[in-house]
Amino acid sequence: MTVQATDEDIRERASIDRSMRFPVLFFFTSAAAWLFVATILGFFSALKLRVPGLWEECQFLGYGRVFPMHMIALVYGWALQAGIGVMLWLMARLTRRELKYGMGVVVIGHVWNALVAVAVICIWSGFGRSIPLLDFPGWMAPLFAMVYMAMVVWVIPMFKTRREASIYISEYYLVGAALWFPWVFITAGILISKEAAPTMAAGAGSWFVSNLIYFWMAPIALAVAYYIVPKIADRPIYSYGWAKMGFWILALFAGWTGFQRYYGGPYPAWIPAVSGAAVVFVLLAVVATISNLAMTLRGKTKLWEISPSLRFTAMGMFFFAVYACLSAVSIIPMVQPALQFSFFLSGLDVLAIYGFFSMTVFGAMYFIVPRITGCEWPSAASIRNHFWYSTYGIITLIVCLLIAGLAQGGNLSRPNIPFSTSFMNSTCWVVGACIAWLLIAVSNLWFFYQLALMFVGKGRKSEGPTLIHGGHDNAEGAAGTA
């Protein structure tokens, strides 16, 4: 990583970046647009929780419809598209292969966006299925699977015909994500549509959500972190052994998670127990990975002040550690009964999707977009605003949902307290969630505006990258050409 780049290398990278330009920018901008839609829907669903009677004559604004629309827009509109964009670019860079048929990928990307829009409209107009993150009507699932594979399949030939002799750890994660996700998605889709075993179908739905986080979001975010951190710190990762160990621990155990959400549910008792144990083992992978990244950055924390990519990625990794720890805490038998169906667990979902995955992917975007467009981010102030509004927003959201969960769970676990008290005592915290979603919406409006400027080529034309503080010619400038 630290080897000085030759002129030929730079030319080669430029041609790879050119081949990626339209597909990756397309995925990023449409993802950012969906993210904005999702945050607005998130605000409305939180508002509906606080004031259930609001607009109750209108069937299209019920919480039971707005909340799944929000989740679908957030995951399928934003997370999957942004992740695929990052995956394609990183894989091309690491394997030194150009993306063939780039325009074909753009066409398929349009189909994907249309599918997400149809899914959201279906839920809105009353064809939802009440299955978290699989709410769209059953006939859409095979379409989603096919379009996803058509977008991601290019990663495999790139990797197979790679020109570097050694495999970098990010590539393990990317190949893993590309391979595992369709398998999880198709399995859950088929088992649910067969309608042969109702409780295992529900379990497969929960297993899908957990694997979406651990087998798709986590690998992509970690691939980004293993790429960005050494690049910006300008030194190799601290221990390659740890990195590989973290990868294989995640690969071995993440697939067993999912059923801990239905602890005590209608399953053989060993199933949720095994899932709970797997969550704890996954924590090991997280510890190995995060400490490895932290050691890579040791003594260079000043870079946080300068590089937007590093700042977002580091914050994402911090949220990953918090997520993994809280997930492990939430399955301790002492607290699990209270937290199981509370805001605590839905707060954890948001922490994974927005706090950990999205922040890391923002970091990647701040790195990638200047390279493929050939111009720099228009304004450092906007990057700062995006960062702080997002960070404060997500922290407010998580803290409020976690406290709401504790209040709700505490009341639920005392049967002498009337049931509705648990609702009253928890939804006062939802006010905080409303405000947080607004903060996040504002921050993403900034981001989308900047990204749109870059998309139409109105970015800053300059030699050096846009840095958070200070001039344009220090650390990332050196790392930036690489």
* C-beta of 327 vs 408, nearer to other proteins: 408
Kindly state whether residue 342 participates in binding other proteins, applying the rule CB under 8 A: yes
* C-beta of 23 vs 272, nearer to other proteins: 272
Interaction pattern, residues 247-286, with other proteins; x per rule: CB under 8 A? -x--xx--xx-xx--xxxxxxx--x--xx-----------
Least separation in angstroms between residue 126's CB and other proteins is 4
- Segment near other proteins (CB under 8 A); pick from 18-26, 317-325, 416-424, 468-476: 416-424
Least separation in angstroms between residue 469's CB and other proteins is 41
* C-beta of 418 vs 470, nearer to other proteins: 418
Check: CB of residue 322 under 8 Å from CB of residue 351.
Answer: yes
Q: Which of residues 347-406 bind other proteins (CB under 8 A)?
A: none
* C-beta of 63 vs 304, nearer to other proteins: 63
- Segment near other proteins (CB under 8 A); pick from 54-62, 77-85, 360-368, 445-453: 54-62
Looking up tokens 């009507």 gives: 137
Q: Which of residues 172-191 bind other proteins (CB under 8 A)?
A: 172, 175-176, 179-180, 183, 187, 191
Q: Is the dihedral of CA 442, 447, 453, 455 positive or negative?
A: negative
Query: Which residue in 262, 280, 292 sits closest to 198, CA to CA?
Result: 262
Note every long-range contact of 98-103, with CB atoms under 8 Å and residues 24 or more positions apart, other chains counting: 98/15, 98/16, 98/19, 98/20, 99/16, 99/19, 99/20, 99/23, 99/154, 99/158, 100/19, 100/154, 101/154, 102/19, 102/20, 102/21, 102/22, 102/23, 103/22, 103/23
**Residue of 27, 36, 44, 67 that binds other proteins (CB under 8 A):** 67
Rounded CA gap, 320 and 221, in Å? 9
* C-beta of 202 vs 224, nearer to other proteins: 202
Q: Which of residues 13-42 bind other proteins (CB under 8 A)?
A: none
**Residue of 40, 94, 131, 440 that binds other proteins (CB under 8 A):** 131
**Residue of 129, 235, 244, 472 that binds other proteins (CB under 8 A):** 129
- Segment near other proteins (CB under 8 A); pick from 1-9, 304-312, 343-351, 442-450: 343-351
- Segment near other proteins (CB under 8 A); pick from 26-34, 81-89, 339-347, 365-373: 339-347
The count of chain residues that interact with other proteins, using the rule CB under 8 A, is 88
Kindly state whether residue 202 participates in binding other proteins, applying the rule CB under 8 A: yes
**Residue of 239, 291, 336, 385 that binds other proteins (CB under 8 A):** 336
CA 263 to chain centre: 25
Kindly state whether residue 43 participates in binding other proteins, applying the rule CB under 8 A: no
Interaction pattern, residues 420-459, with other proteins; x per rule: CB under 8 A? xxxxx--x--------------------------------
Check: CB of residue 98 under 8 Å from CB of residue 30.
Answer: no
* C-beta of 152 vs 368, nearer to other proteins: 152
- Segment near other proteins (CB under 8 A); pick from 30-38, 57-65, 235-243, 311-319: 57-65
Rounded CA gap, 29 and 85, in Å? 10
Least separation in angstroms between residue 275's CB and other proteins is 8
**Residue of 192, 290, 348, 368 that binds other proteins (CB under 8 A):** 192
Rounded CA gap, 339 and 413, in Å? 9
- Segment near other proteins (CB under 8 A); pick from 18-26, 109-117, 161-169, 287-295: 161-169
Kindly state whether residue 244 participates in binding other proteins, applying the rule CB under 8 A: no
